[in-house]
Structure 1
């Protein structure tokens, strides 16, 4: 129980992933699988981190407008709907 948590800190993987990998390694290969499970998952994580394309998340001015947050002005709903235009009143017919 203590081994996955300690080893996970040294190889920088989440403790739940480490624990799950030890369970799967034990089920597949027994005691040897339990010992090599965390290094195998850490290797897989390093490989995927190096070779899987990551996309940078940036703010899109078309979505947020040119104002920064907290700058005052109309609320989000007013920015989505646009300026209010008064509607003409209906004419009464006799």
Structure 2
């Protein structure tokens, strides 16, 4: 379902691996930092039962925010949503 986080005077919603916020600059920053964190190897593994909560906790910590609301998500769904975000993007040359 999702997580709502208060970041200063703004609120952001994390749902299915994507942040939404009224402040588009903050939204872009949250999405970029989340992607970097997931690829860094510092994020919890795919065995984490609640990826959205782990991401929300990390971003709240980085921005000095707090979690306001959490709706539980099925573990299978979070693995499906977060697995592609953990894949490295390799730039293969176009041989065609």
TM-score relative to the length of structure 1:
0.29
| Higher Cα radius of gyration | 1
Higher relative contact order (CA 8 A, sep 6+): 2
